[in-house]
Amino acid sequence: MTTDIQKDVVYFARTDFRNTNRLFGIKRKDRRQHMYVVGKTGTGKTALLNNTIIQDIANGEGVCVIDPHGELVEGLLDKIPAEREKDVIYFNPADPDHHIGFNILELPDPRYKHLVASGLMGIFTKIWAGVWSARMEYIMNNAVLALLENPGSTLLGINRILVDKDFRQKIISNVKDPVIRAFWVNEYEQWKDQFRNEAIAPIQNKVGQFLSTAMIRNIVGQEKSTIDIFEIMNGRKILLVNVSKGRVGEDNSALLGAMLITKVQLAAMERVRVPEEERKDFYLYVDEFQNFATDSFAGILSEARKYRLNLIVAHQYIGQLITSASDKVSTKVRDAVFGNVGTMIVFRIGAADAEFLESEFEPEFVIQDMVNLPNYCVYLKLMVDGITCRPFSAKTLAPFRVMGSQEIAEHIVEMSRKLYAKPREFVEEQISRWSGMFGEQTAPSANLKLYPAICSSCGKSAEVPFEPAKGRPVYCSECLSKIQAGKLEPVSGKGKAAKKADEEFARDLADLGIEFEFKKPPAKRLEEIPKSAIRKRISLSSLAQSERRKLRGAAVAVLITTPEGIPLIKDPKKPPPNYWKLPGGRSAGEETAEEAAIREIEEEIGVSLKADDLEVIYENDKGNHILMFFEARLPKLPLLKKEGGKGEEVGVFSPEQILSLPDFFPNHLNIVKDYLSAAGDIKPSMAGTSTKLGASRAEPSGQEEHRVKADIDELRQAISESLKKAAEGK
């Protein structure tokens, strides 16, 4: 048989009937009827999921994996081919310093607000089944629906709308639904305090427990989600969700996972505006899915097919699919699973489950067969060309031997943080401002260091007990008092005063070549670079000794030009992190900028320069002689370090390649443009050359494209070899 990988087939087992080994899988169109996997712990469910996910990733499919243990998604990180690195969103709520924004109340379309409310009620009913009551649901449903009519609301508003009258009135003023409005105005406000306190106490308790955990609050409390599930599905991206119970808690894991599934359902339903033939298949894997299986999950199973949302769910025993709340037992999820799933895979199960499934698998298999299955052996009913075949036995494939490394996993996590997460300090400040938790003003301590600032509201000079940061509003004492009293709205966006404050703060740092807007420059051709507005270049030897002394304490960067290319470094720690930059650094003590440049170049890339090599120095944008950019022309590229002294990546690029780098530090990019634009200067003879040193997973250029292709081919080859061995019975 052939072992060529077919992109429309995912292989997961081989038949073992009469000792024949026939490799088989499931076609793309049959996966749209969903796959259901059940079996005791340790029987091989996770290995089966792992193999199918790896094949989907290698085939360029869109994938979401929700894992309540964390081991499955963590094991996938180092198996991502370089071609798909930027497709990965790693959602790890336990990350202490970087938080992805996930606002369940952020609506793609106002028509879906009742679906969101219904989904949340189903989640709360399941998670808090022991204390859930009809009155709790009544109040909670009205609270959620009211918040949904106010854009920017988050789950943090649930408790606040119950106890904060001013906040409640502000929310109600925007509610257009007469029934919801009538509840808050004519009913809730009329309740006596004692009755109201008794009614809302359970809600405050449960919601408060969920939101009191800082890592959860910093995720669901962001007004704007940083991930777009609709875009993830249509862009065929890879969403890996690590809601490990051991790290975030059992209830928090279940709540976050169920909310994500609700969002996936809404994103799938948005596809109604996309022609059916243009809808791209998206695969949702849910391990231990009973943790997230609410009654609304039944709706996903029955409707997802038409939206090309294909589910693969796995758990341990069927009793987990029976939900209960307020002494009512619901088999809705169980019935939806067995009524809608096209492919059913059964590992070893208990007697009760075997008795239930016997009607599905008889006469081929009976109870005794299902309770005595060895590990990695299955009985299954496979969907083939839209028809469910008779049950048969098979042995699942051994885990694919795909080589990975911790370095690759860490790189992908860091890239995901960079693209989709926000720093903890920023998020907490935003939430604190929303909550109205401004600190009481006290007389400054004699030992307290004060920093000059510009008030973001009135534009006056002020002193504050913290170092101003760009984008963070700063207020004088008068404006702060007005904000606390509710007489003045906090500044949002960039007003004139706020921009002025940013400019004042940024001035000195700009002198050192540090900029704050790290927008990735678009790729440009050489002929598009203007040959005007070139920065003034000054020969180092032309500077008077008194002027050269001004260079002490300056930051330095060196543009080293060689026929082979321009050396760059990428530091994962120094700001801005993970941007390619010219090598350099800050001078130390009485060291001159020339001395600092020579030392930094030696430390970072291993090149020994002399003062005579530093031919040209650039003025900065201020036009003064606080100078930092040197140019050194070398006849050939010396032997470079493979890694900088502090773990930096080292690479050599042609000027054309630098202009096309999506992650080149913009401030240094201007220097390279000046170099290329200088009329009558060096004619670049290095086009098309690129030597990457120590850069394990970086982008660009022809050589890199070949390496990336080799990487995805390597993954497919590993899968192919595993399939070949399976077909041969090894």
Say what the pTM is: 0.63
Considering the domain boundaries, does residue 685 fall inside one? yes
CATH of residue 595's domain is 3.90.79.10
| Same-domain status, 256 and 300 | yes
Q: Quick check: 302 and 328 in contact, CB under 8 A?
A: no
| Same-domain status, 532 and 501 | no
Helix axes 250-270, 113-127, angle to 10 degrees: 160
**What is the model's pLDDT at position 614?**
80
Could you tell me where the beta strands, DSSP code E, fall in 162-242?
Answer: 238-242
Q: What letter would DSSP give residue 516? A: S
Q: Which residue has the tokens 């969920």?
A: 210
**Residue of 214 and 297 predicted with greater confidence:** 214
| Same-domain status, 652 and 598 | yes
| Same-domain status, 550 and 618 | yes
| Same-domain status, 82 and 170 | no
Residue 433 pLDDT > 70: yes
**What is the model's pLDDT at position 601?**
86
| Same-domain status, 675 and 546 | yes
CATH of residue 283's domain is 3.40.50.300
Q: For 33-42, 213-222, 673-682, which range has the lowest pLDDT when averaged over its residues?
A: 673-682
Q: Is the dihedral of CA 312, 317, 318, 324 positive or negative?
A: negative
| Same-domain status, 114 and 93 | no
Considering the domain boundaries, does residue 243 fall inside one? yes
Query: How far is Cα 542 from Cα 627, in angstroms, rounded to an integer?
Result: 13
| Same-domain status, 360 and 494 | no
| Same-domain status, 535 and 667 | yes
**What is the model's pLDDT at position 728?**
66
pLDDT tens digits, 70-105: 999 999 998 898 888 889 999 999 998 899 999 999
| Same-domain status, 43 and 185 | no
Residue 642 pLDDT > 70: no
Pair type for strands 392-396 and 9-15: antiparallel
Considering the domain boundaries, does residue 614 fall inside one? yes
C-alpha distances in angstroms, 186 versus 143, 146, 189, 191?
14, 14, 6, 9
The last residue of a domain, from among 188, 217, 246:
217
| Same-domain status, 146 and 77 | no
Tell how far CA 232 is from the center of its chain. Answer: 11
Length, in residues, of the chain: 730
Number of independent structural domains in the chain: 4
Considering the domain boundaries, does residue 225 fall inside one? no
Query: How far is Cα 67 from Cα 241, in angstroms, rounded to an integer?
Result: 6
Q: Is the peptide bond before 576 cis (omega within 30 degrees of 0)?
A: yes
Considering the domain boundaries, does residue 668 fall inside one? yes
**Residue of 485 and 250 predicted with greater confidence:** 250
Residue 649 pLDDT > 80: yes
Residue 440 pLDDT > 50: no
| Same-domain status, 146 and 57 | no
**Residue of 630 and 306 predicted with greater confidence:** 306
SS3 content of the chain, % helix, strand, coil (to 5): 45, 15, 40
Percent of the residues in the chain that have a pLDDT greater than 70, as a whole number: 73
**What is the model's pLDDT at position 686?**
32
Residue 359 pLDDT > 70: yes
**What is the model's pLDDT at position 546?**
52
Considering the domain boundaries, does residue 717 fall inside one? no
**What is the model's pLDDT at position 705?**
37
Three-state SS string over 43-90 comes to CCHHHHHHHHHHHHHHCCCEEEEEECCCHHHHHHHCCCCHHHHHHEEE
**What is the model's pLDDT at position 184?**
95
To the nearest whole number, what is the mean pLDDT of the chain? Answer: 78
Q: Is the peptide bond before 530 cis (omega within 30 degrees of 0)?
A: no
Considering the domain boundaries, does residue 430 fall inside one? no
Considering the domain boundaries, does residue 363 fall inside one? yes
Q: Residue 172 is part of which domain span?
A: 110-217
Q: For 38-47, 194-203, 399-408, 666-675, which range has the lowest pLDDT when averaged over its residues?
A: 666-675
pLDDT tens digits, 122-157: 888 888 877 888 899 999 999 999 999 998 899 999
**232: closest CA among 256, 258, 267, 276?**
267
